[in-house]
């Protein structure tokens, strides 16, 4: 023996890149990725989002170019967010059959039928106060009124050909109401990706610039989203959405709540989605730009943490970067 400490069996597994790949316990694939895209009804050309370097609000005319890039990278799924020309108290633009998301869905399904299309089903981009629902005349949260609007949005998306409705507000009862509305309208095959476990998080800040709500939103969403302290409540919310008919359960934001994602994986047989949110994206971009760490290594470590915790789908603004790393074998 040349060393006082001979190699252990585990060290032999790690000896070369080929061995590490062969014995990998968790594998990340391009097929796991879903790219969020923002389509702005009023833009004539795409516009960079100041809070999220490398991400754009897309004009309707530029949508095809972005989608072709995703397809070329092998990314098979997108989540569409819309920014309307007009906002209102009752978010009427959200369920307009010629609304920005509805038009985007029809374009994607006709021009890129190989893509799975999820569409954000929420009011925050469409209300004049940036909230996920509506309020009564005396300023009280109107849960039932919000559900009625969400049903209209879901039906309009399904009629446009969407694959998955993604109700993102975590509004009480929304999954059951949307499932019933879809089934009664003949859209039994349209899936629901529920934001089942959504925390009222500070990590959504950069998203508000992407969604065009930074100038109108004030207050908070603690009355219908989870506090960071809640574990059992989070798992109970996921159980409720499962029982109401959700096809996919999401944890958002994923990175600060990997413990929740892992526990949900242990108790649920449904596919799980992890949303790597705008705040996580912006932090990594800012730190890497300052040379504090290598961006690629940090991003891939982050992606692997979500896969290891049990995610089947990773919704991420890093999707194109990750697909490029995987395609080139730089993992």
Catalytic residues: 198, 252
Tokens 């095959």 belong to residue: 189
Token pair for 135: 């309020």
- Which tokens is 17 given? 């890149």
Give the integer Cα–Cα distance in Å for 205 and 182.
32
- Report the C-alpha gap between 229 and 115 in whole angstroms: 37
Contact assessment for residue 97 and residue 106, using Cβ atoms and an 8 Å cutoff: no
The DSSP secondary structure of 181-229, one letter per residue, reads: HHHHTT-TT-EEEEEEEEB--GGGHHHHHHTT-TTT--S--TTTSB-TT
What is the largest distance, in Å, between two alpha-carbon atoms of the chain? 82
Residue closest to 117 by CA, chosen among 61, 69, 165, 74? 165
* Cα–Cα nearest to 174, from 123, 128, 208, 127: 123
Task: List CB contacts of 328: < 8 A, sequence separation 6 or more.
Answer: none
């Amino acid at each position: 023996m040349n060393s006082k400490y001979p190699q252990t069996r585990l060290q032999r597994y790690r000896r070369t890149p080929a061995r590490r790949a062969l014995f990998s316990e968790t594998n990340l694939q391009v097929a796991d990725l879903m790219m969020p895209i923002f389509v702005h009804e009023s833009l004539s050309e795409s516009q960079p989002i100041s809070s999220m370097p490398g991400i754009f609000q897309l004009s309707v005319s530029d949508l095809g170019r972005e989608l072709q890039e995703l397809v070329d990278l092998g990314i098979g799924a997108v989540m569409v967010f819309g920014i309307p020309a007009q906002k209102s108290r009752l978010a009427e633009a959200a369920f307009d059959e010629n609304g920005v998301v509805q038009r985007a869905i029809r374009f994607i399904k006709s021009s890129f039928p190989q893509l799975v299309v999820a569409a954000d089903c929420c009011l925050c981009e469409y209300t004049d106060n940036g909230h996920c629902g509506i309020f009564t005349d005396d300023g009280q949260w109107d849960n039932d009124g919000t559900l009625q609007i969400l049903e209209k949005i879901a039906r309009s998306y399904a009629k446009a050909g969407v694959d998955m409705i993604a109700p993102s507000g975590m509004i009480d009862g929304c999954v059951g109401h949307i499932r019933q509305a879809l089934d009664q309208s003949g859209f039994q095959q349209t899936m629901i990706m529920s934001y089942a476990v959504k925390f009222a998080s500070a990590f959504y800040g950069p998203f508000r610039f992407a969604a065009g709500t930074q100038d109108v939103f004030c207050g908070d969403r603690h009355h219908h989203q989870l506090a960071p302290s809640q574990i059992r409540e989070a798992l109970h919310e996921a159980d409720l959405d499962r029982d109401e008919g959700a096809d996919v359960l999401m944890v958002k934001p994923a990175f600060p709540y990997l413990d929740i994602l892992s526990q949900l994986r242990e108790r649920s047989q449904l596919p799980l989605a992890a949303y790597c949110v705008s705040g996580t994206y912006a932090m990594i971009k800012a730190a890497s730009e300052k040379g504090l760490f290598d961006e690629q290594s940090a991003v891939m470590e982050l992606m692997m943490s979500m896969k290891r915790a049990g995610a089947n789908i990773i919704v991420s603004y890093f999707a194109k970067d990750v697909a490029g790393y995987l395609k080139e074998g730089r993992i």
